[in-house]
Structure formats: structure tokens, C-alpha cells
């Protein structure tokens, strides 16, 4: 925990001792925002209750409190939200709430209650309005991946999809792309659920499914608004997909997201929505899969021997079917030094966290071993070869192997490159990515 939030942690403890629900929420929200947490979990257990916050993708227990206080905390939040029924404890409820922290930062929260066997659990997802969308050049897209994305942002029409689970940075990447191409002569329209970041120069619309304003209907209506670029927050059904493809075929550049585990799996997902392979070939430009990995705290990290680690053997094999000349070019262009490459490939060394400096807890990471996060990317460029393979009904495996052999940096390769550059470690990689044994 950062030094600046220790005072709020003590104030939270005092508020719990005094059963002051208002101060509990004020200090809790302030701690979460200052610690860059994405979610807050207020949850009852059998013998006690606890509050956890998700920082850099990992949940940490912040504090415990007695069960006698829990019902008051949940009821107070329901009343303050103005969107939940305090007397309804049998059904899940949703709310969207705005607030200001004790450090004067405006935040939006998406909250949900869930009845459990030990009373209701409350989870709040935080959107810090004070955080700015970073430029595309700062999102850890390196060399070939960077060239591919800039190439497709210059195209006048087609579909660019971003895929991966919630909390993987899709929102940031999409907004950064829109910000990069946002110009006075371009009309950009977005359909979002919810509108997380208000950006100047964009026409942003909040989808309202309860009154019939869905993604598919929104696309149909907004095509009459003379758009050049359209962002549809998520392709959830065949109707939305059909409208997105129609928009791409009529001269629009379309951005959207879909939930799959990799760029290549997006093909199966789209085909399952009854799209024709030739339609994908005509309209799809690029699919981006991404993840956020925790960055090693270099202040307390040290070199370790990893020869006996199975993860190292598998990581080394990720380049086995990659064109050797392209590999050399990628290494050089990512500014990987000969020393870094030799230490990992030949000497079996990499940086590893310790959490300590001179026998004491690291003052930079607080003993958590990691500091901040970095983006990892996999870009499936729909080249002419890939489009021909789609039309010929080639399998996902055949398409992926072809791309990996010829140009694609998948998540495994991008992560290993960043391990070699001492940005993260193998444990962090294989927390998210399947280990390929061949």
C-alpha cells in the first residue's frame, strides 16, 4: 500500500470501529482510487465479512469487519444509489453511481449486489474520470504489432475487432485508436454500454436496451447520421454482426469487441453467429487480442536461474516455427540487446521479484513484487493469404499455423519478448496464457 493511502486505511479502521457507514464508503473509495484498483468487493463470509480490492488484476484483502455491520453497509449503499431497493434482498440488483473521493477525484461506479448464503455481496467497478486515455504509442505495441495497427487505422473501411476478457485493456485500446484518428474532417459515432470515457470530438451514445435502443438498432439509425467511423461496443448477436458487416461494406470503418480467448478463436465465434466465410474475408481487417500483465518491480528484482523451470523450456519453443530472419528483425527492432537475449536463451537467467530490499519490505512495490502493468498483444492481420484460406474453409489451426510461421506475434511470443526485456516474468505469463507444449 502506498504511503499516501495509509492515513485513509487508518480512517477506514476507525470508521468500522465507530460503525460510521458514510465514512467507511468515503475512505474505502479513496483508498481504491489512490491504489489504482479496478474493483471493490464487499462480501460476507460465515464468521466475518471482508473488503477486497483488485489491483493490477489481482484481489487483495484490505480489511475485515464484523457481520453485525454488513447489512447496514449494503442498505446504505442501496439508498444512496437511488437505483436499488433496500428491501429487496432476494434478487441481484444493478446501479450506476457517481461520486467524489476525499482526494477530489470524480469517479463512476457500476455496482451489483448478489444474494449469497451469508447475505448480500456488493461489487463496485470503478471508472476514475481523472485518468486520461494514453496515446496509442504508449500502449506497449512493439515493432510488427505497431506497424500492423497503424496500417489498419489508415484504411477507410472494414472491421477492427478487439477481443479478450473484461479487465484486459480493450476499452483503453479502442479509445486510443479512436483518439489517434479523431480529426475535424472525420465523423465518429460510438454506441457504448456504458459510456466510460467522454472524449472530445466523438458522438457518443449510451445504449438503452430497456427502451429498444440496442446495438443493432443504433447502427441502423446512426447510419443516417453520415458517419465515417463507427464503434459498436460489443457484437453480441447475429443482428449486430450483420449490421456491422453491412456498415463495413458500405464504406465505413467499424470498431467493436467480442469475447473470445485469442484472435484465431474469433473466427469460430463469428461463424457461430452464422456469418459466411466470404463475408468475413470481405469485411474483416484486423483482430486484436490483448492482456494486461503485471510489471516486475525492478527495484527489488534480482536475476535467477530458470533452467529447471518447465515454463522456460516451453517459452523458448515459442519461436521454433518462426522465420529466422523475421525473428532477428523483430529482436533488433524491439531493442532487445544481445546481453538480454543471451541471458535468457543461453544462460537461463531472468529477473525475478523478491519483494525485499536489504531485508526489508520493498518501498516501491510494498512487497507485492510487481509495479504497474504492461500490455501484451496478439494481432491477426487479415492479409490476402488469410482471406483466401477463409474462403477455402481452412481450419482455425491451419490459419493460425500459417500466420505464426510467416509473421504473427501471438500472445506467447509478445510475452516472452517482454520477459527477455526484463519487463515481466514467466509466472505472470502463464497465469493467463496456455502453455503450448509443441
Q: Which of 102-111, 174-183, 217-226 is predicted most confidently?
A: 174-183
Q: What is the mean pLDDT of the chain?
A: 88
- Kindly report, residue by residue over 379-433, the tens digit of the pLDDT: 999 999 999 999 999 999 999 999 999 889 998 899 889 988 888 888 777 776 6
Contact in structure between 13 and 69 (CB atoms under 8 Å):
no
Q: Which of 261, 287, 256, 299 is nearest to 390 (CA)?
A: 287
Domain range 3-128, CATH architecture: 2-Layer Sandwich (3.30)
pLDDT at 102: 93
Cβ neighbours around 23 below 10 Å, total: 16
pLDDT at 402: 94
- At residue 190 the predicted structure's pLDDT band, cuts being 50, 70 and 90, is very high
Q: Is 393 left (phi over 0), alpha (psi -120 to 50) or beta?
A: left
Contact in structure between 346 and 302 (CB atoms under 8 Å):
no
Share of the chain above pLDDT 70, in %: 94
Looking at the domain 151-287+377-398, which fold is it?
A: Rossmann fold (3.40.50)
Contact in structure between 290 and 170 (CB atoms under 8 Å):
yes
Which has more pLDDT, 261 or 230?
A: 230
Cβ neighbours around 290 below 10 Å, total: 24
- Minimum mean pLDDT among 10-14, 167-171, 188-192, 402-406: which range? 167-171
Which has more pLDDT, 322 or 2?
A: 322
pLDDT at 30: 95
Which has more pLDDT, 200 or 354?
A: 200
Domain with CATH 3.40.50.300 in the chain: 151-287+377-398
Domain with CATH 3.30.450.90 in the chain: 3-128
Contact in structure between 260 and 388 (CB atoms under 8 Å):
no
Which has more pLDDT, 150 or 110?
A: 150
Instruction: Give CA–CA dist 21/15, Å, rounded.
Output: 7
pLDDT at 261: 84
- At residue 280 the predicted structure's pLDDT band, cuts being 50, 70 and 90, is very high
- At residue 251 the predicted structure's pLDDT band, cuts being 50, 70 and 90, is very high
pLDDT score of 435 more than 70: no
Cis peptide before 17 (omega within 30 of 0): no
Give the dihedral sign, CA 203/206/212/218: positive
pLDDT at 433: 66
Helix (H) or strand (E) holding 382: none
Q: Which of 187, 225, 233 is nearest to 208 (CA)?
A: 233
According to DSSP, the residues that pair with 377 across neighbouring strands are 290
Alpha-carbon distance values, 109 to 86, 97, 330 (Å): 18, 5, 41
- Minimum mean pLDDT among 105-119, 139-153, 199-213, 346-360: which range? 346-360
pLDDT score of 438 more than 50: no
Helix (H) or strand (E) holding 396: helix 396-406
Cβ neighbours around 125 below 10 Å, total: 18
Which has more pLDDT, 107 or 3?
A: 107
Alpha-carbon distance values, 262 to 57, 91, 142, 230, 426 (Å): 19, 34, 18, 23, 19
Q: Which of 79, 166, 169, 175 is nearest to 122 (CA)?
A: 79
Alpha-carbon distance values, 75 to 49, 83, 84, 90, 127 (Å): 15, 12, 9, 13, 22
* Averaged pLDDT, 295-322: 79
Backbone angles phi, psi at 269, to 5 degrees: -60, -45
pLDDT score of 2 more than 60: no
Pairing of strands 229-232, 119-128: unpaired
pLDDT at 245: 94
Amino acid at each position: 500500500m502506498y504511503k499516501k493511502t495509509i492515513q485513509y486505511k487508518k480512517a477506514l479502521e476507525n470508521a468500522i470501529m465507530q460503525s460510521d457507514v458514510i465514512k467507511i464508503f468515503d475512505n474505502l473509495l479513496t483508498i481504491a482510487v489512490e491504489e489504482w484498483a479496478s474493483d471493490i468487493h464487499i462480501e460476507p463470509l460465515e464468521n466475518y465479512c471482508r473488503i477486497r480490492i483488485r489491483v493490477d488484476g489481482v484481489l487483495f484483502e484490505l480489511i475485515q469487519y464484523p457481520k453485525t455491520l454488513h447489512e447496514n453497509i449494503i442498505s446504505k449503499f442501496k439508498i444512496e444509489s437511488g437505483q436499488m431497493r433496500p428491501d429487496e434482498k432476494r434478487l441481484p440488483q444493478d446501479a450506476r453511481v457517481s461520486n467524489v473521493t476525499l482526494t477530489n477525484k470524480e469517479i463512476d461506479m457500476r455496482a451489483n449486489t448478489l444474494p449469497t448464503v451469508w447475505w448480500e455481496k456488493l461489487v463496485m467497478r470503478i471508472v476514475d474520470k481523472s485518468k486520461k486515455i494514453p496515446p496509442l504509442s504508449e500502449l506497449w505495441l512493439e515493432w510488427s504489432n505497431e506497424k500492423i495497427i497503424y496500417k489498419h487505422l489508415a484504411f477507410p473501411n472494414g472491421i477492427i475487432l478487439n477481443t479478450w476478457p473484461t479487465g484486459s485493456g480493450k476499452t483503453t485500446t479502442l479509445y486510443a485508436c479512436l483518439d489517434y484518428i479523431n480529426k475535424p474532417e472525420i465523423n465518429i459515432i460510438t454506441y457504448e454500454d456504458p459510456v466510460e470515457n467522454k472524449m472530445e470530438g466523438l458522438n457518443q451514445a449510451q445504449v438503452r436496451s430497456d427502451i429498444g435502443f440496442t446495438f443493432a438498432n443504433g447502427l441502423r439509425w446512426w447510419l443516417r447520421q453520415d458517419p465515417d467511423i463507427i464503434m459498436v461496443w460489443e457484437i453480441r448477436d447475429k443482428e449486430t454482426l450483420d449490421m456491422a458487416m453491412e456498415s463495413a461494406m458500405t464504406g465505413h470503418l467499424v470498431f467493436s469487441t467480442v469475447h473470445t480467448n485469442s484472435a484465431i478463436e474469433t473466427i469460430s465465434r463469428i461463424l457461430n453467429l452464422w456469418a459466411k466465410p466470404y463475408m468475413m474475408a470481405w469485411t474483416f481487417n484486423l483482430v486484436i487480442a490483448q492482456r494486461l500483465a503485471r510489471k516486475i518491480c525492478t527495484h527489488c528484482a534480482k536475476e535467477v536461474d530458470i533452467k529447471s523451470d518447465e515454463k522456460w523450456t516451453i517459452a523458448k519453443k515459442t519461436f521454433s516455427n518462426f522465420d529466422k530472419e523475421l525473428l532477428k528483425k523483430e529482436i533488433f527492432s524491439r531493442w532487445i540487446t544481445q546481453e538480454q537475449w543471451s541471458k535468457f536463451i543461453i544462460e537461463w537467467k531472468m529477473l525475478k521479484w523478491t519483494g525485499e530490499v536489504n531485508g526489508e519490505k520493498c518501498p516501491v512495490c510494498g512487497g507485492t513484487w510487481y509495479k504497474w502493468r504492461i500490455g501484451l498483444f496478439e494481432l491477426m492481420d487479415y492479409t490476402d493469404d488469410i482471406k483466401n484460406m477463409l474462403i477455402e474453409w481452412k481450419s482455425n489451426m491451419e490459419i493460425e499455423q500459417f500466420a505464426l510461421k510467416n509473421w504473427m506475434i501471438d500472445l506467447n511470443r509478445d510475452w516472452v519478448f517482454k520477459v527477455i526485456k526484463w519487463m515481466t516474468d514467466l509466472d505472470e505469463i502463464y497465469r493467463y496464457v496456455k502453455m503450448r507444449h509443441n
